[in-house]
Amino acid sequence: MMDDLAPRSNVPELGPAGDYGTNWKWYKILKRLHVVLLLLWFGLMSFWWVTEERLAKHYDWLPPILVILGLASLVGSLVVRLVLAGWKCPRCGNRFHSKGFWSSDERASQCMNCGLPKWA
């Protein structure tokens, strides 16, 4: 009965060996998505910048679409980056790259709160 009153943690239940592989798989997917969206933005904006005058003569609808798609990929990249910045440690549930508000390290090789190595 007392167990029902105990506060619950938002940390997912782990297997017997403490397998964090699924969490790190999602982290890796998000990092790759961030890079792909940035490259898409760069490619679209470069293509638009180089061909703007030629495209506008024949396809006046294409440059605005390129700009809209470019901005959408940039906003998507920023959103993914914010999710990565707030990534929670699979072991302790705190932010992996930060300890408190002012101290953060995006390239941390271990959790700044519990010491879990990255990719463990």
pLDDT reading at 112 higher than 60: yes
Question: What is the average per-residue pLDDT within 25-47?
Answer: 92
Higher pLDDT, 86 or 59: 86
pTM of the predicted protein model: 0.71
pLDDT band at 7 (very low <50, low <70, confident <90, very high): very low
Question: What is the average per-residue pLDDT within 48-69?
Answer: 80
State pLDDT tens for residues 65-111: 888 999 999 999 999 998 988 888 888 888 888 776 666 677 778 88
Given this model, what pLDDT does residue 16 score? 39
Token pair, residue 54, equals 């030629």
Domain locations in the chain as residue ranges: 21-85, 92-120
